[in-house]
Structure 1
Amino acid sequence: MTTKGSCMCGDVEYQFTGEPAMKALCHCIDCQKWTGGAFTSNAVVPRTSFQVNKGSPKAYDITGDSGKINKHFFCSNCGSSLYTELEIMPDMTVIKAGGLDGGAASLGNAIGAELYVKDRVSYLQSIDGAKQEQKM
Protein backbone atom coordinates (compact mmCIF):
# COMPACT_ATOMS: atom_id res chain seq x y z
CA MET A 1 0.00 0.00 0.00
CA THR A 2 1.29 3.46 -0.92
CA THR A 3 0.04 6.61 0.80
CA LYS A 4 0.74 9.96 -0.84
CA GLY A 5 0.72 13.49 0.50
CA SER A 6 1.64 17.04 -0.42
CA CYS A 7 1.84 20.60 0.78
CA MET A 8 -1.03 23.02 0.22
CA CYS A 9 0.40 24.54 -2.99
CA GLY A 10 1.59 21.22 -4.47
CA ASP A 11 5.27 22.20 -4.75
CA VAL A 12 6.24 19.28 -2.48
CA GLU A 13 4.88 15.75 -2.86
CA TYR A 14 5.85 12.67 -0.87
CA GLN A 15 4.79 9.13 -0.19
CA PHE A 16 5.30 6.17 2.10
CA THR A 17 4.66 2.48 1.65
CA GLY A 18 3.09 0.12 4.13
CA GLU A 19 1.25 0.84 7.35
CA PRO A 20 2.49 3.41 9.89
CA ALA A 21 4.37 1.95 12.84
CA MET A 22 2.41 4.36 15.04
CA LYS A 23 -0.43 6.85 14.73
CA ALA A 24 -0.14 9.55 17.36
CA LEU A 25 -1.21 13.00 18.40
CA CYS A 26 1.46 15.24 19.88
CA HIS A 27 0.40 18.03 22.23
CA CYS A 28 3.89 19.45 22.94
CA ILE A 29 4.42 23.21 22.82
CA ASP A 30 6.83 22.78 19.89
CA CYS A 31 4.11 21.11 17.78
CA GLN A 32 1.57 23.73 18.83
CA LYS A 33 3.91 26.54 17.72
CA TRP A 34 4.92 24.76 14.52
CA THR A 35 1.37 24.17 13.33
CA GLY A 36 -0.49 27.07 14.90
CA GLY A 37 -2.91 24.48 16.31
CA ALA A 38 -3.52 22.61 19.55
CA PHE A 39 -1.61 19.47 18.47
CA THR A 40 -0.20 17.56 15.51
CA SER A 41 -1.60 14.32 14.15
CA ASN A 42 1.16 12.03 12.96
CA ALA A 43 1.82 8.89 10.95
CA VAL A 44 5.16 7.51 12.12
CA VAL A 45 6.79 5.43 9.37
CA PRO A 46 10.19 3.82 8.78
CA ARG A 47 12.49 6.29 6.97
CA THR A 48 13.23 3.58 4.43
CA SER A 49 9.55 3.57 3.38
CA PHE A 50 9.33 7.38 2.99
CA GLN A 51 10.41 9.48 0.02
CA VAL A 52 9.95 12.99 -1.34
CA ASN A 53 8.87 12.71 -4.98
CA LYS A 54 8.67 16.38 -5.90
CA GLY A 55 10.25 19.56 -4.60
CA SER A 56 12.83 20.32 -1.95
CA PRO A 57 11.42 20.98 1.52
CA LYS A 58 13.17 23.44 3.79
CA ALA A 59 14.08 22.42 7.32
CA TYR A 60 14.13 24.09 10.70
CA ASP A 61 16.02 22.50 13.60
CA ILE A 62 15.01 22.85 17.22
CA THR A 63 16.34 21.09 20.29
CA GLY A 64 13.69 18.90 21.91
CA ASP A 65 13.26 18.04 25.59
CA SER A 66 15.66 15.13 25.06
CA GLY A 67 18.47 17.54 24.15
CA LYS A 68 18.45 16.03 20.65
CA ILE A 69 17.57 17.79 17.38
CA ASN A 70 14.03 17.75 15.95
CA LYS A 71 14.30 18.60 12.24
CA HIS A 72 10.99 20.02 10.96
CA PHE A 73 10.47 20.01 7.19
CA PHE A 74 8.09 22.43 5.46
CA CYS A 75 7.27 23.88 2.05
CA SER A 76 9.24 27.04 1.37
CA ASN A 77 6.44 28.42 -0.82
CA CYS A 78 3.21 27.86 1.16
CA GLY A 79 4.68 27.06 4.59
CA SER A 80 2.83 23.76 5.04
CA SER A 81 4.21 21.52 7.78
CA LEU A 82 5.24 18.24 6.15
CA TYR A 83 7.24 15.90 8.37
CA THR A 84 9.79 15.68 11.16
CA GLU A 85 12.97 13.69 11.66
CA LEU A 86 13.85 13.22 15.33
CA GLU A 87 17.39 12.36 16.41
CA ILE A 88 15.89 10.21 19.17
CA MET A 89 14.10 8.14 16.47
CA PRO A 90 16.77 7.90 13.74
CA ASP A 91 15.00 5.17 11.77
CA MET A 92 11.57 6.84 11.62
CA THR A 93 9.91 9.77 9.84
CA VAL A 94 7.00 11.54 11.55
CA ILE A 95 4.61 12.64 8.82
CA LYS A 96 2.07 15.35 9.62
CA ALA A 97 -1.20 13.63 8.76
CA GLY A 98 -2.96 16.79 7.58
CA GLY A 99 -0.97 16.68 4.34
CA LEU A 100 -1.96 13.12 3.45
CA ASP A 101 -4.15 12.68 0.37
CA GLY A 102 -7.44 10.87 -0.15
CA GLY A 103 -8.82 11.12 3.35
CA ALA A 104 -5.75 9.54 4.94
CA ALA A 105 -5.48 12.52 7.34
CA SER A 106 -8.01 10.67 9.52
CA LEU A 107 -5.34 8.02 10.22
CA GLY A 108 -8.09 5.43 9.94
CA ASN A 109 -9.69 6.85 13.11
CA ALA A 110 -7.16 4.76 15.07
CA ILE A 111 -4.89 6.90 17.24
CA GLY A 112 -2.57 4.65 19.24
CA ALA A 113 -0.95 7.26 21.47
CA GLU A 114 -1.16 10.82 22.65
CA LEU A 115 2.21 12.36 23.47
CA TYR A 116 2.97 15.28 25.78
CA VAL A 117 -0.48 15.16 27.33
CA LYS A 118 0.93 17.42 30.07
CA ASP A 119 0.73 20.20 27.43
CA ARG A 120 -2.70 19.24 26.03
CA VAL A 121 -5.02 22.27 25.89
CA SER A 122 -7.75 22.15 28.51
CA TYR A 123 -10.68 22.00 26.10
CA LEU A 124 -9.53 18.67 24.59
CA GLN A 125 -10.25 15.29 26.14
CA SER A 126 -8.14 12.16 25.86
CA ILE A 127 -8.91 9.69 23.09
CA ASP A 128 -10.42 6.47 24.38
CA GLY A 129 -8.02 3.56 23.95
CA ALA A 130 -4.99 5.71 23.08
CA LYS A 131 -1.95 5.38 25.31
CA GLN A 132 -1.49 8.61 27.28
CA GLU A 133 2.15 9.73 27.63
CA GLN A 134 3.16 12.74 29.73
CA LYS A 135 6.19 13.20 27.43
CA MET A 136 7.64 11.22 24.53
Structure 2
Amino acid sequence: MTITGSCLCGSIQYSADVDQYTSALCHCTDCQKWTGGAFTSNALVPRSSFKVTKGTPSTYDVTGNSGKINKHFFCSGCGSSLYTELEIMPDSTVIKAGGLDNGAAKLGGKIDLELYVKDRVPYLAAAEGAKQQEAM
Protein backbone atom coordinates (compact mmCIF):
# COMPACT_ATOMS: atom_id res chain seq x y z
CA MET A 1 0.00 0.00 0.00
CA THR A 2 1.07 3.58 -0.49
CA ILE A 3 0.53 6.03 2.34
CA THR A 4 0.70 9.73 1.57
CA GLY A 5 0.67 12.94 3.53
CA SER A 6 1.42 16.63 3.50
CA CYS A 7 1.76 19.74 5.59
CA LEU A 8 -1.21 21.99 6.31
CA CYS A 9 -0.51 24.38 3.41
CA GLY A 10 0.33 21.60 0.91
CA SER A 11 3.83 22.88 0.10
CA ILE A 12 5.42 19.62 1.30
CA GLN A 13 4.07 16.21 0.28
CA TYR A 14 5.45 12.73 0.92
CA SER A 15 4.71 9.05 0.41
CA ALA A 16 5.84 5.63 1.57
CA ASP A 17 5.25 2.28 -0.11
CA VAL A 18 4.80 -0.28 2.68
CA ASP A 19 3.17 -3.63 3.34
CA GLN A 20 2.49 -2.48 6.90
CA TYR A 21 3.82 0.01 9.43
CA THR A 22 4.20 0.23 13.18
CA SER A 23 1.82 2.66 14.88
CA ALA A 24 3.36 4.38 17.88
CA LEU A 25 2.72 7.13 20.39
CA CYS A 26 5.71 8.96 21.83
CA HIS A 27 5.32 10.75 25.14
CA CYS A 28 8.88 12.12 25.44
CA THR A 29 9.25 15.75 26.46
CA ASP A 30 10.97 16.59 23.15
CA CYS A 31 7.90 15.40 21.20
CA GLN A 32 5.66 17.36 23.57
CA LYS A 33 7.66 20.55 22.94
CA TRP A 34 7.95 19.97 19.19
CA THR A 35 4.23 19.52 18.64
CA GLY A 36 2.77 21.57 21.46
CA GLY A 37 0.76 18.49 22.49
CA ALA A 38 0.90 15.78 25.13
CA PHE A 39 2.39 13.20 22.71
CA THR A 40 3.00 12.45 19.03
CA SER A 41 1.14 9.80 17.06
CA ASN A 42 3.33 8.18 14.45
CA ALA A 43 3.59 5.71 11.61
CA LEU A 44 7.04 4.10 11.59
CA VAL A 45 8.00 3.07 8.05
CA PRO A 46 11.22 1.77 6.49
CA ARG A 47 13.38 4.77 5.62
CA SER A 48 14.06 3.22 2.19
CA SER A 49 10.32 3.37 1.38
CA PHE A 50 9.84 7.03 2.34
CA LYS A 51 10.21 9.91 -0.10
CA VAL A 52 9.35 13.59 -0.25
CA THR A 53 7.35 14.07 -3.46
CA LYS A 54 6.87 17.85 -3.36
CA GLY A 55 8.79 20.69 -1.76
CA THR A 56 11.77 20.80 0.56
CA PRO A 57 11.18 20.56 4.30
CA SER A 58 13.21 22.49 6.84
CA THR A 59 15.02 20.62 9.61
CA TYR A 60 15.88 21.07 13.25
CA ASP A 61 18.26 18.73 15.08
CA VAL A 62 17.88 17.76 18.73
CA THR A 63 20.20 15.56 20.74
CA GLY A 64 18.08 12.80 22.26
CA ASN A 65 18.56 11.06 25.60
CA SER A 66 20.70 8.50 23.78
CA GLY A 67 23.20 11.21 22.83
CA LYS A 68 22.28 10.68 19.17
CA ILE A 69 20.65 13.19 16.81
CA ASN A 70 16.89 13.37 16.22
CA LYS A 71 16.35 15.27 12.95
CA HIS A 72 12.90 16.86 12.84
CA PHE A 73 11.45 17.82 9.45
CA PHE A 74 8.79 20.52 9.17
CA CYS A 75 7.24 23.02 6.75
CA SER A 76 8.81 26.45 7.06
CA GLY A 77 5.66 28.00 5.56
CA CYS A 78 2.90 26.68 7.81
CA GLY A 79 4.98 25.12 10.60
CA SER A 80 3.53 21.60 10.31
CA SER A 81 5.54 18.80 11.92
CA LEU A 82 6.10 16.20 9.19
CA TYR A 83 8.48 13.40 10.17
CA THR A 84 11.60 12.55 12.15
CA GLU A 85 14.75 10.60 11.37
CA LEU A 86 16.46 9.26 14.48
CA GLU A 87 20.12 8.23 14.45
CA ILE A 88 19.17 5.57 16.99
CA MET A 89 16.72 4.09 14.41
CA PRO A 90 18.67 4.45 11.12
CA ASP A 91 16.36 2.18 9.12
CA SER A 92 13.08 3.95 9.99
CA THR A 93 11.31 7.22 9.25
CA VAL A 94 8.83 8.35 11.89
CA ILE A 95 5.92 10.01 10.09
CA LYS A 96 3.73 12.28 12.22
CA ALA A 97 0.28 10.74 11.77
CA GLY A 98 -1.60 14.04 11.76
CA GLY A 99 -0.19 14.83 8.32
CA LEU A 100 -1.35 11.58 6.72
CA ASP A 101 -4.01 11.85 4.00
CA ASN A 102 -7.51 10.35 3.81
CA GLY A 103 -8.11 9.99 7.54
CA ALA A 104 -5.03 7.82 8.06
CA ALA A 105 -4.18 9.73 11.26
CA LYS A 106 -6.36 7.16 13.04
CA LEU A 107 -3.54 4.63 12.35
CA GLY A 108 -5.93 1.81 11.57
CA GLY A 109 -7.65 2.19 14.92
CA LYS A 110 -4.89 0.64 17.01
CA ILE A 111 -1.56 1.55 18.56
CA ASP A 112 1.26 -1.02 18.50
CA LEU A 113 3.74 0.74 20.77
CA GLU A 114 3.97 3.57 23.28
CA LEU A 115 7.40 5.11 23.91
CA TYR A 116 8.58 7.17 26.87
CA VAL A 117 5.59 6.22 28.99
CA LYS A 118 7.57 7.57 31.96
CA ASP A 119 6.77 11.04 30.54
CA ARG A 120 3.11 10.32 29.71
CA VAL A 121 0.85 13.02 31.16
CA PRO A 122 -1.18 11.63 34.09
CA TYR A 123 -4.59 12.28 32.52
CA LEU A 124 -3.93 9.80 29.66
CA ALA A 125 -4.31 6.05 30.03
CA ALA A 126 -2.21 3.46 28.23
CA ALA A 127 -3.46 2.50 24.78
CA GLU A 128 -5.15 -0.89 25.03
CA GLY A 129 -2.97 -3.68 23.65
CA ALA A 130 0.05 -1.45 22.97
CA LYS A 131 3.50 -2.48 24.12
CA GLN A 132 4.55 -0.03 26.85
CA GLN A 133 8.17 1.13 26.82
CA GLU A 134 9.56 3.38 29.60
CA ALA A 135 12.08 5.07 27.26
CA MET A 136 13.66 4.27 23.88
TM-score bracket, normalised by the shorter chain, equals: over 0.9
State how 1:21-100 maps to structure 2 within 5 Å. Answer: 21-100=21-100
Shift of 1:85: 0.2
More deviation, 10-19/35-44: 10-19
More deviation, 14-23/30-39: 14-23
Shift of 1:128: 1.1
Shift of 1:18: 1.3
Q: TM-score, normalised by structure 1?
A: 0.98
Q: Deviations over 1:29-80 (max 9, x none)?
A: 0000000000000000001110000000000000000000000000010000
Moved over 6 A (4+): none
| Identical positions, percent | 70
CA contact (8 A) 1:19 1:45 kept: no
What runs of 5+ residues in structure 2 fail to find an aligned partner?
none
For 1:85, give the aligned amino acid: E
Counterpart residue number, 1:128:
128
Q: TM-score, normalised by structure 2?
A: 0.98
For 2:49, give the aligned amino acid: S
Shift of 1:21: 3.5
Shift of 1:99: 0.1
**What is the number of equivalent residue pairs in this alignment?**
136
